Amino acid sequence: MKVDVVVIGSLNYDILVQQDRLPDIGETFTGNELMLMPGGKGANQAVQCAKLGLNVSMVGCVGNDIYGKELISSLAENNVVVSHIAARGNNSGIGIVQILESGDYCSTIIKGANYLLTEEDITDDLFENKPLVIFQSEIPSAIVEYAIQKAHRLDSKILVNNAPARHIADETLRLIDYLVVNETEAGFMHAAPVNSVEEAQICATHLKARIAGDVIVTLGEKGAVISTGTGAQHFPAVFCPDVVDTTGAGDSFIGGIAYCLVKGIALAEAVPFAAEISSCSIQKYGGQSSFPMLPDVVHALRVQQSELSH
């Protein structure tokens, strides 16, 4: 099988709690519902790519625990190639996610086995004849930088989702073909707040000058901004009346962008397509299980176009 996309990143078992509000310091608060689901930004992005019909291989580490087995099963059930996932150490990565009434979430991750990935795992065959490699920032920084350099040498296109945001060396930044960050991550990388479309446009233009390729800054309900040349272009968000849970929305967006890149679709078309995918994902709880298949996205786009034309 020809692999379209390699995802080198995290697998977390997510513990999601739906609750009316966050507790205050020192307060014990009663949540509404507990959900346990496979997640992790790397695994989520791999699953969304696969649900859109891409051939995807994932590279990562889980622990020798019950969560590790479930994390691998979830990928395999979604047709992601799992032969480069190792089981090491006792504990898988864990995501603790608090989902509020608005659908907004906050999360804390426990690194676990995600940090047991080594340079020896990053073999040349991962990149040979692989059009696109995707990275996030939930595995060791040194491994990401090492793998980016190798991917570049072996001619794969490199998409980096610097989430959660952390420092990336300038010489590595210069090898990135697509940088995708949300407003918080963009603000961190630009060392200035990004609270508006205008600030996102300025930030995207500055970040574009630091990398090899194009920049996307996602802004939640304010849409997204791209910088592919000089200046930046804004795309409004897809209106979604039924927001339940935004966990993984950024990951499903990246799956949509990856699909378009593999299919040779320009970013200006890719962003509205990916935004529609995110909009589908936020109407259900969780990450991977909330992500749409390609026919669902095509249907949602048709509905949206017919609503706009009336």
Binding site for ligand RIB (CB under 6 A): 10, 12, 14, 39-41, 44, 95, 107, 109, 138, 247-248, 250-251, 287
Paired with 224 in beta bridges are 218, 235
Beta-carbon contacts of residue 177 (< 8 Å; ≥ 6 apart): 157, 158, 159, 211, 212, 213, 214
The distance of closest approach from Cβ of residue 264 to ligand RIB in the complex, given in angstroms and rounded to an integer, is: 27
The distance of closest approach from Cβ of residue 163 to ligand RIB in the complex, given in angstroms and rounded to an integer, is: 7
Residue with smaller CB distance to ligand RIB, 78 or 201: 78
**Residue 234 to residue 171: CA distance in whole angstroms:** 28
The distance of closest approach from Cβ of residue 38 to ligand RIB in the complex, given in angstroms and rounded to an integer, is: 8
Q: 38: burial class by Cβ within 10 Å (0-12, 13-18, 19+)?
A: buried
Residue with smaller CB distance to ligand RIB, 54 or 109: 109
Residue with smaller CB distance to ligand RIB, 183 or 202: 183
Residue with smaller CB distance to ligand RIB, 42 or 187: 42
The distance of closest approach from Cβ of residue 250 to ligand RIB in the complex, given in angstroms and rounded to an integer, is: 6
Residue with smaller CB distance to ligand RIB, 41 or 130: 41
Amino acid at the residue 216: I
Residue 207 has which token pair?
Answer: 């970040």
Residue with smaller CB distance to ligand RIB, 223 or 248: 248
Residue with smaller CB distance to ligand RIB, 41 or 190: 41
The distance of closest approach from Cβ of residue 246 to ligand RIB in the complex, given in angstroms and rounded to an integer, is: 9
Beta-carbon contacts of residue 157 (< 8 Å; ≥ 6 apart): 131, 132, 133, 177, 178, 213, 261
Nearest to 207 by CA among 231, 237, 223: 231
**Tally of CB atoms within 10 A around 231:** 11
CB 169 within 8 A of CB 193: no
Element (H, E) at 181: strand 178-182
Nearest to 115 by CA among 80, 133, 91: 91
The distance of closest approach from Cβ of residue 107 to ligand RIB in the complex, given in angstroms and rounded to an integer, is: 5
The distance of closest approach from Cβ of residue 286 to ligand RIB in the complex, given in angstroms and rounded to an integer, is: 8
**Tally of CB atoms within 10 A around 297:** 22
